[in-house]
Amino acid sequence: MMDKSFAESGTKVNKVKKGPRVVVGLDIGTTKIACFVGMKNEHDKIEIISMGKSESLGVMRGVVSNIEKTVQSISHAVELAQERVAGNLKINNVNVGIAGQHIKSIQTRGIHTRKNVLGEIAQKDIDALIDDMYAMVMTPGEEIITVFPQEYIVDNEQGIKDPVGMTGVRLEANFHIITGHVSNVTNIRTCIERSGLSINEIILEPIASADAVLSDEEKEAGVVLVDIGGGTTDVAIFYDGLIRHTAVIPFGGNVITEDIRNGCKIMLKQAEQLKVRFGSALVSESKDHEIVCIPGLKGRESKEIRLSTLAGIIQARMEEIIELVRVEIRNSGFEKKIIGGVVVTGGGSQLKHLPQLFEFITGMDTRIGYPTEHLANTNQIESISSPIFSTGIGLVLKGFEKEDKHNSLDNVSGETEIRTHTDPRKRGSFFAKVLSKESFKKLENFFRDEDE
Ligand SMILES: Nc1ncnc2c1ncn2[C@@H]1O[C@H](COP(=O)(O)OP(=O)(O)OP(=O)(O)O)[C@@H](O)[C@H]1O
Ligand SMILES: [Mg+2]
């Protein structure tokens, strides 16, 4: 996949035993599949060094419905991401997202009675408690995806955030547990395996998006993350720095496009273009005299559509979605405590006047969440700052978070051949656009060090 000019102009080929700290996020969305490759720079900040995107053809409402088509889309996105790195990066291991209406969350409490009562509570006691939760018996057809410990309780002392170093016999914790249908989780696993990849971790999509767009202060203050995708609207509520509530609403931007198609009697493609270019979530912001002309089918007259009519269709459906988000905020029990407001992200968040409608219905401050919040070098990666990439970038951030915890994640295969070039910018590739001079140097030095 190296172009000829690249191979001929002083390419340096190094064999490396161990790869750089690279983490890959794969977002299997309803409308697109996006693969992001992230790397830490010399300041320990995460940069996205490559990405590949393909149209998603086998996913409905966030759930894989056609394995073969999904595998094709995954392979295409991964190949693009690999090609755009200046080197033969072989992606093996990915963090993958999961969403869909089958996702449920439960609150429960777990207990671990310690054997060594004289010693201090260690990380292994917490790990044992968490492992016990993963082993919890689910109703048939359901499986646990993630277990989030919240507050701990040591011998009846409540509200402990980190019990390591304390003494006590009974270690308890409140847990937020995410479950999903076994068949849907299996389909994701099958798609990844058939694409020649392996899974590092399956992560709930709104949790990943939240990592990309929310600040730590917002999570502390209490905030509602809403990711409006094509097929689903995902909700994650944080308070006191912890995840408190998650939900997946089975409607997203695509249902709005369908409404426009049916309401205006036009083709689906035209409806999508109309929504993206002229759509608004507020009728009151559209002027009655503004009209857009849609060409008619062969031999038929063109159609005139008032922008206020278009906004009326969009607002009606958007209000319905926001009402469902509001129900989730109420169900969380944190409605009165949240002071960080709402952060909307995902493709649907780009709809004009959407934050205003959110504020109007929920009474909460609303902002749009862009996924570059925690990335270094954002000026070089203009194209990936779109809210449609929040989940994919969040999956990369989650991978580094896990790596920081366990400090042992290695994404590049054992004997990977990496080619470095004297001047990567000459390739004119995505890599050249997104990778700063410093981080390129770091990549180069890394391989040199390994070679020596
Ligand atoms: N400028 C825009 N205005 C309104 N809607 C938009 C705009 N840009 C994109 N969208 C909508 O965003 C949706 C796609 O968003 P996104 O890429 O986040 O979804 P996805 O991740 O593929 O799907 P999901 O997360 O539901 O599985 C589509 O419905 C699209 O019409
Ligand atoms: Mg999505």
Distance (angstroms) between ligand 2 centre and the Cα of 231 equals 8
User: Within a domain: residue 124?
Assistant: yes
280 and 368 in a single domain? The answer is: yes
Q: Are residues 41 and 120 in the same domain?
A: no
**How would you label 143-182 residue by residue, b for 16+ Cβ within 10 Å and e otherwise?**
ebbbbbbbebbbeeeeebeebeeeebeebbbbbbbbbbbe
Write out residues with Cβ below 6 Å of ligand 1.
29-32, 56, 62, 99, 229-232, 252-254, 257, 272, 275-276, 279, 346-348, 350-351, 388
The CA 227 to ligand 2 mean position distance, Å, reads 7
Ligand in nearest proximity to the CA of 29: 1
Cα 385 to Cα 295, 379, 425, 436: the distances in Å are 33, 9, 21, 16
> Are 78 and 128 in a shared domain?
no
**Ligand 1 closest atom vs CA 272:** 31
Same domain, 248 and 286: yes
CA of 339 to the centre of ligand 1 (A): 27
The single-letter DSSP state of residue 85 is S
User: What is the model's pLDDT at position 444?
Assistant: 40
| Position 283 in a domain | yes
Shared domain check, 275 and 139: no
For ligand 1, pick from 209, 269, 275 the residue to mutate: most ligand atoms within 8 Å of CB: 275
Supply the pLDDT for residue 310: 97
Q: How far is the CA of 69 from the centre of ligand 1 (A)?
A: 20
Residue 413 alpha carbon to ligand 2 centre in Å:
28
> How far apart are alpha carbons 281 and 358 in whole angstroms?
10
pLDDT of amino acid 436 = 41
Q: Are residues 33 and 91 in the same domain?
A: yes
Tell me: do 365 and 418 sit in the same domain.
no
Length of the chain: 452
Task: Look at residues 210, 116, 149, 152 and name the one whose alpha carbon lies nearest to residue 398.
Answer: 210
The answer to the question of residue 192 being in a domain is: no
Residues 60 and 127 in one domain: no
Residue 178 C-alpha to ligand 2 middle, in angstroms?
18
Residue 142 maps to a domain: yes
Same domain, 240 and 333: yes
302: CATH:
3.30.420.40
Which atom of ligand 1 sits closest to the CA of residue 345? 18
Of 136, 164, 182, the position where a domain reaches its end is 182
Identify which ligand lies nearest to the alpha carbon of 321.
Answer: 1
Q: Which structural domain range is residue 361 located in?
A: 215-372
CA-nearest residue, atom 8 of ligand 1:
347
Separation of CA 60 and ligand 2 centre (Å): 12
**Are 282 and 337 members of one domain?**
yes
Q: Whose CA is nearest to atom 5 of ligand 1?
A: 348
Radius of gyration, CA atoms only, the chain: 24
Pocket test for ligand 1, best of 27, 30, 269 (most atoms within 8 A of CB): 30
Nearest to 99 by CA among 220, 234, 228, 226: 234
pTM of the model: 0.85
Count of domains observed in the chain: 3
CATH number of the domain encompassing residue 445: 3.30.420
Q: Rounded to the nearest whole angstrom, what is the distance from the C-alpha of residue 437 to the centroid of ligand 1?
A: 33
Q: CB neighbours (10 Å) of residue 240?
A: 15
Task: Indicate if 176 and 248 belong to the same structural domain.
Answer: no
Alpha helices, DSSP H only, in 59-181? 67-83, 123-134
State in Å: Cα 386 to ligand 1 middle. 11
CATH of the domain at 169: 3.30.1490.110
Q: How far apart are CA 342 and CA 338, in angstroms?
A: 9
Atom 10 (ligand 1): residue with closest C-alpha? Answer: 347
324 shares a domain with 251: yes
Closest residue by Cα to residue 419 from 446, 452, 449, 444: 444
Distances (CA, A) of 229 to 24, 30, 234, 248: 21, 8, 8, 11
Residue 154's SS3 state is strand
pLDDT tens-place values along the chain, 452 residues long: 333 322 233 333 333 335 567 999 999 999 999 999 999 988 889 999 999 999 999 999 999 999 999 999 999 999 999 998 877 789 999 999 999 999 999 999 999 998 878 889 999 999 999 999 999 989 999 999 999 999 999 998 999 999 999 999 999 999 999 999 999 999 999 999 999 999 999 999 999 999 999 999 999 999 999 999 999 999 999 999 999 999 999 999 999 999 999 999 999 999 999 999 999 999 999 877 899 999 888 778 888 999 999 999 999 999 999 999 999 999 999 999 999 999 999 999 999 999 999 999 999 999 999 999 899 876 555 588 999 999 999 999 999 998 877 663 344 433 333 333 323 333 333 333 334 444 434 434 433 333 33
Q: Report the nearest-CA residue for atom 4 of ligand 1.
A: 351
The reply to whether 204 falls in a domain is: no
Full DSSP string of 327-350: HHHHHHT-TTT--S-EEEESGGGG
Q: Is residue 206 part of a domain?
A: no
State the pLDDT at residue 289: 83
Q: Which is the closest atom of ligand 1 to the Cα of 352?
A: 3
- Pairwise CA distance, residues 313 & 279, whole Å: 9
Ligand 1 atom 31: the closest Cα is on which residue? 253
Taking the alpha carbons of 259, 274, 34, 195 in that order, is the dihedral positive or negative? positive
Task: Starting from the CA of residue 62, give the closest ligand.
Answer: 1
202 in any annotated domain: no
| Strand extents, DSSP E, 99-252 | 104-113, 142-154, 157-160, 170-181, 198-204, 223-228, 233-239, 242-249
Beta-bridge partners for 16: 416
In a domain, 314, yes or no: yes
Helix residue ranges per DSSP H, 154-252: 182-194, 205-213, 216-221
Q: How far, CA to CA in Å, does 80 sit from each of 158, 191, 363, 445? A: 50, 18, 43, 25
For residues 434 and 48, the answer to whether their CB atoms sit within 8 Å is yes
DSSP letter for 280, please: B
